[in-house]
Amino acid sequence: MLSVSNLSCTRGERTLFSGVSFDLKPGQWLHLEGSNGSGKTSLLRIATGFTPPSHGCVSWKGQPLTQVRGAFHTDLLYLGHALALKDELSALENLQADAEIAGRAFVRTDAVASLQRLGLRARTRLPVRVLSQGQKRRVALARLMLQDAPLWVLDEPFVALDAQAQDLVAEALSAQVQRGGMVLFTSHQAIALQGRGERYRLNA
Amino acid sequence: MNAFIALVQRDLRLALRRKSEVLTALFFFVVVATLFPLGIGPEMGILRKIAPGILWVGALLASLLSLGRLFAADFQDGTLEQMALSSTPLPLLVGAKIFAHWLLSGLPLALLAPVMALQFDLEGAAVQALVLTLLVGTPLLSIIGAVGAALTLGVRGGEVLLSLLVLPLYIPALVFGAGAVEAQVSGIGYAAHLSILMAMLVLAAFFGPWVCATALRVALE
């Protein structure tokens, strides 16, 4: 369980948000909403342990994040604004490098299957450089289907995707929630997800 | 350990597909080492005397050239974030990046050095000293440089700052590296210099990756 209590974030003189508290229990999703500049990405970076909060605390399974960093990172799948793809490598090579560097097993057939599901069948061997923005995002999102981390933290997973890919991603999120995982994500779109969950609005 | 090998492999593969970056540094070394004999003229005595210093400074500047990109590329495309969030310890991954950097910049320089030494009419034993000290010294340069690169990551004008930060820290390596060749030429032998370089390398290899990892976490905040 990820719980965030009384979190606040200051950038310079400005307070982005304060008093943010929520719990994310297994089998739940949380859709973080807010206008541009309201601190959604900052909140995600605090929740993943990149940035220490100005105030408040984040805990994973009842323990403060700073104390269980290693265990937390094994349980976490994070997709940020930057896609973490190397332009020179192909989609498959990217997924392989990503898994092996993180110390996860890489099963080639699974990776090919997930790329196929995302409609990149003919492009698994092309360098990512030649793919379109949306296709690059699809490659990055293929990780969702390859990793069984209990907690997913996704920053704008639906941006730059066509309707079909959006459905696929929504499906993947619903599946994650249904098998008892947790999903914390930001999006400007209204996304219909199955399973229990709620929306949390950050006020600028 | 598998993660270490995987990251080294990935960096080597990236370098293979982006050859110009590696070759630029090597070419720079060759040009610098060639300009001096041309500028000074065929005065064997002087050339022999200045050879160790010039070759070492050339190697040092060449390894500095590729340092700016060491973490910057991973930082920009978000791979560094994923590394920091992975269950593999970050210092281990940083170690892999430094090792790959050395394989691509330091090792080729050390192997090219004997050819460059021909232009300075260095004798056999001195060339041997040069290659050995470069083999021990260039990884030291990579580690120190990586610390500088991690500290200046994401800073505006980081490249210039990086040189200002790292070049003074290269001085001990330069003194003992070039000193070893001079010692050999003057007949004292280079064993002592080489031992000191090795000691510095061991120390840097032990602490460097941790310092880098901490600096990278700060840069990612």
| DSSP state at residue B18 | T
- Share above pLDDT 90 across residues of chain B, in percent, rounded to a whole number: 72
Residue of chain B minimizing CA distance to A46: B221
Residues A181-190 have pLDDT tens digits of: 999 999 888 8
- Edge-first strand order for the sheet with A63-64 is A14-24, A2-11, A55-60, A63-64
Question: What are the φ and ψ backbone dihedral angles of A187, each rounded to 5 degrees?
Answer: -165, 150
Q: State the DSSP code for B20.
A: H
Tokens of A22: 């929520």
A11 to chain B: closest CA residue: B221
pLDDT at B221: 85
pLDDT attached to residue B159: 84
* pLDDT score, position B207: 96
Q: Is the pLDDT of residue B199 over 60?
A: yes
Q: Which two tokens stand for residue B125?
A: 């034993």
- Nearest chain B CA: its distance from A11 CA (Å): 12
Query: Over the stretch B89-104, which tens digit does the pLDDT of each residue have?
Result: 999 999 999 999 999 9
Q: Is the pLDDT of residue B75 over 80?
A: yes
Taking an 8 Å cut-off on Cβ atoms, the answer to whether A48 and B14 are in contact is: no
pLDDT, residue A34, reads: 86
> Which of B86, B97, B153, B221 to mutate against chain A (most A CBs within 10 Å)?
B86
User: DSSP string spanning chain A?
Assistant: -EEEEEEEEEETTEEEEEEEEEEE-TTEEEEEE--TTSSHHHHHHHHTTSS--SEEEEEETTEETTTSHHHHHHHEEEE-SS----TTSBHHHHHHHHHHHTT----HHHHHHHHHHTT-GGGTTSBGGGS-HHHHHHHHHGGGGT---SEEEEESTTTT--HHHHHHHHHHHHHHHHTT-EEEEE-SS-----SEEEEEE---
Phi and psi angles of residue A157, each rounded to the nearest 5 degrees, phi first: -70, -15
Q: Of B18, B78, B86, which has the smallest distance from its Cβ to A80's Cβ?
A: B78
Give residues with Cβ within 8 angstroms of A141, minimum separation 6: A79, A118, A157, A161, A165, A169, A172
A-interface mutation test, from B1, B9, B10, most A Cβ less than 10 A away? B10
pLDDT digits (tens, 9 = 90+) for A151-173: 999 999 888 888 888 888 898 89
Q: Evaluate whether ipTM surpasses 0.90.
A: no
Q: What is the pLDDT of residue A204?
A: 56
Instruction: Please give the pLDDT value at position B95.
Output: 96
Residue spans of chain A under pLDDT 50: none
B contact test, residue of A76, A85, A101 with most B CBs within 10 A: A101
Name the band, by pLDDT with cuts 50, 70 and 90, for residue B151.
very high
- Determine the average pLDDT of the residues in B110-118: 92
Calculate how close chain B gets to A79, using CA atoms only, in Å. 8
Class of domain A2-201: alpha beta
Q: Is B10 within 8 Å of A86 when comparing Cβ atoms?
A: yes
What SS3 class is residue B152?
coil
Which chain A residues are within 8 Å of B219, Cβ to Cβ?
A: none
Does residue B12 sit at the A interface (CB-CB below 8 Å)?
Answer: no
pTM for the full predicted model: 0.92
pLDDT tens across B7-37, in order? 999 999 999 998 888 899 999 999 999 999 9
Residue A155 near residue A79, CB atoms below 8 Å:
yes
